[in-house]
Every structure is written in structure tokens, then in C-alpha cells.
Structure 1
Amino acid sequence: MTAPDEDKLREQALATLTTARDRTTLLTSCVEDPDLTAQHSPLMSPLVWDLAHIGNQEEQWLLRTVAGREAMRPEIDGLYDAFEHPRAERPSLPLLPPDEARRYAAEVRGRVMDVLESTAFHGTRLTEAGFAFGMIAQHEQQHDETMLITHQLRTGPQALTAPDPEPAPLFTGPAEVLVPGGPFTMGTSTEPWALDNERPAHRREVAPFYIDTTPVTNGAYQAFIEDGGYDDPRWWTPEGWAHIRKNSVFAPLFWRRDGKQWLRRRFGTTEAVPPDEPVLHVCWYEADAYARWAGRRLPTEAEWEKAARHDPAGDRSMRYPWGDADPGPERANLGQRHLRPAPAGSYPAGESPLGVRQLMGDVWEWTASDFLPYPGFQAFPYKEYSQVFFGPEYKVLRGGAFAVDAVACRGTFRNWDYPIRRQIFSGFRTARSGDV
């Protein structure tokens, strides 16, 4: 790696770390301390746990592992080990109080700035191209997204504000796009900050299929509800049907009916459900049931990635649907610039060569696939990031949401969760086989 390349990557690492910390500060300074220490849902940690966990992971990887420095607070490692304590138990732990957690995270970051200046971006796999710094920036942004979910779950007045996405004319383009069959390159072996489950690049054969041009909208999903979709077991897997009956699920999370109108709660405010936005806060079972009701299915993970990355003109896989350039506000709704999805059909500058829109940003999109390793997978730098989650218990989501920062979102990025999860910023689009 030449010096100019290394200098550019160092600037990129500094920028992404700074952006992540600015967002963490916003999410933890817009409410009072009681809101930081409270557990707003048993599904989520107290916000103050996330804050100190971010600092602890940064200390462990960048100060101790990369720089070889002595531990600052070794006695708290266990408190902020995500695998040692389930989220529901974390409020009972002797956590650092808010002011102390802030000071700890700030002190870690101050020392990391020195390490960033002095570390060579080559020599080891962890430091090659600044991977460790990129990994920590992605980790913080992932916890920022988690904290934003907690803000959505908390009750009380609105604490966060952001401008709405630009209004968009009603989308009148084709409802679906044909993705030609044939092989394509899935995953990556060259993206410097890609995480282990995105690797290695490998060829996949995909039969021709049609995929929705945009994510499924609230208006389309309401038609499923009004047609009795939640009352008809024909559309549900046995596990999904049992889940919605046991938990009295009858609409997306945070929705309620007011006469003939559907309302939703969004970050402390109540509003009419906008029909042209992508549907949000649905679990995999709901997405799968809607697709069956519509005579379609969820795309596989390989189909989704081919629709998002394949350039048929050059027979190559791109970094993003629009090409290799980094995301910008004209291409995708990312980075918490807004607190809602943009209307379906927005961001024509971000569409794929085949004309599929909003594959990046707005909502995470459920796929039909279980979370499994790619051929040749190797856990790095620790097996707890991906390897321990592989299996049929988790379904893959793709594409990122408005809550996702660009550093933690690319055409190869893989997210996963239980099929019952609805508090996440999840939506979907449907597909059908090309010979139908």
C-alpha cells in the first residue's frame, strides 16, 4: 500500500469514527439520565449500557489488541460482554452511570486518536487497510441503530427530530423487474472493511426471476390486512400462524386502528400511516404471509444480491446498486438523516442497472434465506460476530434502513435476526420465478 493510499484510508477511518461518535452523542444526550438508565423494552439494553459497551469494545480492539496497551478498566469487561449477559438482565448489573460512561468512552476515543495516527495500515490482517478502525466504526454505528430502536420503543414525548425525506411523485413505473438468469459474483474478497460473513467472493447461479421495483408499501400491506390476511392460516407457515395467534398480532408493530383509519406511533408522535411509504416493523412471518397472499414469495438472499449488484452490461458485481461510488443523499436514505422511509419510488439516482429502486436504505428487507456461511468462510477476527449465529434460526435481511450508516451498509452487507423480530426497521419486497 502506498503512502497516499494509506493517508486516504486514515482520513476515512477518522471521518467514520467521528461520524459514529457524533451520532452516539446525539442519541444519548437528547434524553435525561433516567431515560438512559431505564430499560424501555426487555428486547433492548438500557441506552447507558450501549454507550459504555461502545467504549469498551473500542478499548479492547484498538487500544489493547492493535496498540498493545494495558487495559484501562478490565473490571468492567464482563459487564459489557454482550454474550455474558442477556439484554433483559442488563439493568440489574452495576453499570457505569451516565456521566462516568461518557467520560470512559471519551477517554478511550482520545487515546484511539493517537493510535490512529501512529498505526501502519499494513503488516497484519487486523491493520491491513485500517480494517480494525473500520470494524469499530461499523460496530458503533450498529449500536447507534440499536439505540434508535430503543428510542422508538420508549414512551414519552418526542426526543429526536429530523427533516422528512423530499416529497416524491407517486411512482408509476413498472411494478416488477426481470432479473436475467445466469451466474454472478456474490460476496466480496476485495472490500477492505467487509466483515467476515460477507467473504469470500464466489460464483452463484441464479435462475431468472422477477423482483418488485420498490419495497412493499403501507397501502399495499393494508390491502392484505383488509382482506383478512391475519385471519387466514392459508398464508402463514405453521410457526408463523402459531406466533401471531399466541401474541395477538394483527398489524405491523406500532400500528393501531382509529375507526377506518390506521395510525402509527413514530418516535413519540402519532400520525396517520402514510400509504406510499415502504411498510416498516413487520417480522419475517408477516412478510412471508403477505408474499403468499399476493401470489408471490420473498426473494432468496442470492436473488436479492444479484438484483442489487449485478451489472449485465459488464457482467460484473458492483459495490452498490448504482455503481462503485460511495452513497450520497441523492442515492439512498441512510445515516439517520431522516427518521422514516422515503416514499416508494424515491431516489432514481440510486436504482440498479435493471431499474430496481431503494435497494439501499429506507428499510431492511427480509429474504427467504437462512443465515449461513459462504463457501470458504473463515471467522475473523472473532467467531462471535457471525459464526455462532449461523443456522436456520435466523433469517437474512439486506439493504439497510434509514437508521443505518453508510459505513455499515453495502451491496454485500448481511444482517440477520429471528423471524419473530418486529422492533427492527424491517420491511420487504417480493419476487416470483421467471418462468411463471
Structure 2
Amino acid sequence: MNGQTAAADPEALRRRALEALTTARARTSLLTECVDERDLTAQHSPLMSPLVWDLAHISNQEEQWLVRAVAGAPAIRPEIDSIYDAFEHPRAARPTLPLLAPAEARSYALDVRGRVLDVLERTPLEGRPLLDAAFAFGMVAQHEQQHDETMLITHQLRRGAPALTAPEPPSGGAGAAGLPAEVRVPAGPFTMGTSTEPWALDNERPAHVRVVPEFFIDTVPVTNGAYLEFIEDGGYTEQRWWAPEGWAQIREHSIAAPLFWRREGGQWLRRRFGVGEPVPADEPVLHVSWYEADAYARWAGRRLPTEEEWEKAARHDPATGRSLRYPWGDADPGPDHANLGQRHLRPAAAGSYPAGRSPLGVRQLIGDVWEWTSSDFLPYPGFAAFPYREYSEVFFGPGHKVLRGGSFAVDAVACRGTFRNWDLPVRRQIFSGFRTARDADAAAPGAPGGR
């Protein structure tokens, strides 16, 4: 039963909300119980919060929205609201705050969750915008999973022995070999965004028609092997490929490869969750900024897709004219469709998950790596902030670029064909990659990585 179907059945909705909350909490526990108290309270990078801040922030948001706003109950710990307000304190400053100690944070989380389960059991899931289709519960589950992804980024930045393990992704079989390098997306209208997905967030709404000219898009994300061609061709030393701000960034910080890569004895290695390993050539490139993605695309004689191009490639079914929930159709993601949910701790090889391809034949649009687009993060026509301006509206503008598709670190509850992520174009610690596109009237590159 998918999310749209469940919206018609209150008991199915209740089960779906419970499952989403339980899944998120199990992941939060895994991410915070696999390290000791010192690692929980340390700040592993000024770009990230201490893990113990995320732990209590998750529960504080859950309390504010589900215990107070939905149930109308009094605050449990009103004195900590300002400490865990993400807008009041930048990440770099959070270690200086009087944070709850790990044991106290866990006790608070347990208290809040117990009350929330009571609220879920007795509250009618209709009659108020926050309750229709169990929206508030879905929003809180998505929020927790987004912080779980943030905590997984912190684990990647953390130094020391590995703390997490996971099985390898399924083999890509023949991988990208034998697949066309690019897919043609026909010109014409398609429906972008959604007005029917019950747990869609405000920036995904409303559904509206976009007319997109014909274009070509990569069948698979750009791989490490392809990106190495860019590096070895002097990509990081040729100013002509870079936006001015990107060129200044790589020069100032002496950037010459994706984050966590290093060259040793003629071989490229990377650090992945505490493990050093050779860079796998067939895996989608990871930990690159928007500027790096944009420079590679220029070097390759291509460009980054716009956000609307990405979504049309992912959702448009030319046979019916419909926009699907996911590239493979309307069914919720399964393990054969995409690499999601921290099931694995790396992207799968390019060309994997044939069951997840779009009707046009584009692969791995959901999961594996977040994909940078060329678009600024802007509201859709008819956008209305809900339930608070700070989720999306305050970030709109040219300062943030849109990423689409999700990564291996994203749970399915916080990932769908309409889901929009955004970040600063300098960000590299996130699980970001990209694929490229070209206009239909632009010549196809003659050789991989060539101009």
C-alpha cells in the first residue's frame, strides 16, 4: 500500500505513520549508540552539530509539533526550546550551549516518543491541515530521517575506527556497459510538483504544468572513472571550466579532487566511514560541490540539467502523459528499485537497479547520490508556506542550488520524484553527485569526457 492509497484509510494511515516514526527512531538509535559518549558530544567538523545536539533536537521538534501543536498538551521541557532552535544557533556554535548530556537526551527522547504514540493512537487524522492524512506525523518522521542523514555525514567526517557496518550494494551486473550514454527526453508539457502526495512538503507544491524543450540527459550519474578523466586532464587547474566563485573556492582551499580523496603512490584512494580504500571507477562520484559538478559538465561539453529537466526525466511517462510518483511508477520504493535508507554505506555501481529506471530508460534517478541541478531554489507558482516559513521560504533565492533524487543515506519517507533538496554551492560533505545534460541542438561529445 503506497502513501496515496493509505490516505483514504485512517487505520492504514495510522499504521503508516507508526512505521515511519519507528523506522526513523531505530536509525537514530543506531547512529548514536555505535559510538561512545566522547564521540557523541564532540564536534567532528564546524560544519556539523555534535551528534548529541541532533539527538535532542529531533525530539524537541517532535514534542513541539506532535505533543504541543497536535495534542495541545503543555511543554515538557520549554527551557530547552531555544537551545535546540536550528535558526537561533549556527552549527559551529552549538558545542558551547548547555546541551543535554547523552543519557538525559535519550531519556527525553523516550519520554516524548511515548507521549507521541498515545497522541497517534487517539487523534482523528482529519479536520485540520496538520492532521489531514497524518501530515504532522509524516513531517516529523521526515524531519528525523533528514537529521539521520545529517548524522551519517557527521560519521563520515569523524576520525577514528569505523563505527558503522553495512552489506555491499548488489552487483551492477554489466553495469553501465551496453547502456546508451544518454537518453533523449522529448519536448512538451509535463506536470511538475504535486498536489496529491499526502506527505509532500510545502516546496513540492502545488502541481503545475511546465513545457520543457527537447534535451538529452546522462543515462547514469557521472562515475568516479569519468571524473578522474577530468582531474587528469587538468580540470582543477584550468580556470576556463569554472564559475568565478568556484575558481576562487578551489584556489583558496587548494581543492584538487572530491572531498575525502587523496593520491598515494600513483593511486587514488578515499576515506569512507573510517575505511581507506581505492576509489572505485564504476561508482557514481560523491562529495563534489555544485562548482565541481558545473566545471566537469563544461569540460565535457555539456551542462547540468535544470530542475524541471531532471524531474521530467524522472517522472514523465510518454505513453500516458502522466507524471509518476517515482521513475518506476507509483509503488513505494523497494530494495530492487533504489539504494536508499542506509541499507548500504556507499552508492551502487552505475547502471544498477534496472527495475528503478524511468519510462524513458534513465537509471538511478532515486537513491545512490543527490544530484546537483543548475537551478536556484525557488518557489513554485502558487507556493504557500506550511506549516512554517522556516522550512523552505527563508532559503529561496540564488544562494542555494537544488539537488534531486536522494542518496543511499536518504530514507524512502524523505525521498520521492517531487522531493526537493537544496544547499550552498560550496558544500562537499553532503552525499552529492550529478549527471549532465545537453540541449537537443548541441552536438554530442565525440569521446567520454571530451569536448
TM-score normalized by the length of structure 1:
0.99
User: Which residue identity lines up with residue 8 of structure 1 in the other structure?
Assistant: A
Mapping 1:147-166, distance limit 5 Å: 147-166=151-170
How far off its partner does 1:4 sit?
6.9
Where does residue 448 of structure 2 map in the other structure?
Answer: none
Match of 2:390 among 364, 384, 392: 384
Superposed CA RMSD = 1.0
Match of 2:43 among 32, 39, 45: 39
Residue by residue, what CA displacement relative to the aligned partner does 1:251-298 show, whole Å, maximum 9, x if unpaired? Answer: 000000012210000000100000000000000000000000000000
Residue by residue, what CA displacement relative to the aligned partner does 1:225-272 show, whole Å, maximum 9, x if unpaired? Answer: 000000001100111111110111100000000122100000001000
Residue by residue, what CA displacement relative to the aligned partner does 1:174-200 show, whole Å, maximum 9, x if unpaired? Answer: 000000010100000000000000000
Matched residue count: 436
Residue by residue, what CA displacement relative to the aligned partner does 1:352-372 show, whole Å, maximum 9, x if unpaired? Answer: 000000000000000000000
User: Which residue identity lines up with residue 238 of structure 1 in the other structure?
Assistant: P
User: Which residue identity lines up with residue 119 of structure 2 in the other structure?
Assistant: V
User: Which residue identity lines up with residue 85 of structure 2 in the other structure?
Assistant: D
CA distance change for structure 1 residues 305 and 3 in 2, over 3 Å: closer, same or farther?
closer
Match of 2:55 among 32, 51, 54: 51
| Runs of 4+ that moved beyond 6 A | 1-4
Match of 1:428 among 404, 427, 434: 434
Name the CA distance, whole Å, in 1 between partners of 2:353 and 2:161: 31
Does residue 1:304 correspond to 2:310, yes or no? yes
Does residue 1:237 correspond to 2:231, yes or no? no
Name the CA distance, whole Å, in 2 between partners of 1:308 and 1:43: 31
User: Which residue identity lines up with residue 372 of structure 1 in the other structure?
Assistant: L
Name the CA distance, whole Å, in 2 between partners of 1:250 and 1:113: 49
Where does residue 449 of structure 2 map in the other structure?
Answer: none
Deviates more, 1:6-15 or 1:163-172: 163-172
Where does residue 337 of structure 2 map in the other structure?
Answer: 331
Mapping 1:10-409, distance limit 5 Å: 10-168=14-172, 169-172=174-177, 173-409=179-415
CA distance change for structure 1 residues 3 and 131 in 2, over 3 Å: closer, same or farther?
closer
Name the CA distance, whole Å, in 2 between partners of 1:331 and 1:370: 28
Residue by residue, what CA displacement relative to the aligned partner does 1:159-179 show, whole Å, maximum 9, x if unpaired? Answer: 000001012223221000000
> Sequence identity of aligned pairs in percent?
77
How far off its partner does 1:2 sit?
10
Name the CA distance, whole Å, in 2 between partners of 1:162 and 1:40: 22
TM-score normalized by the length of structure 2:
0.96
User: Which residue identity lines up with residue 116 of structure 1 in the other structure?
Assistant: L
Name the CA distance, whole Å, in 2 between partners of 1:60 and 1:4: 27
SS in 2 for 1:392: strand
Ranges in structure 1 where 5+ consecutive residues have no aligned partner:
none
SS in 1 for 2:49: coil
Name the CA distance, whole Å, in 2 between partners of 1:2 and 1:245: 52
Name the CA distance, whole Å, in 1 between partners of 2:6 and 2:221: 42
Ranges in structure 2 where 5+ consecutive residues have no aligned partner:
443-451
Answer yes or no: is the 8 Å Cα contact 2:7–2:198 preserved in 1. Answer: no
SS in 1 for 2:137: helix
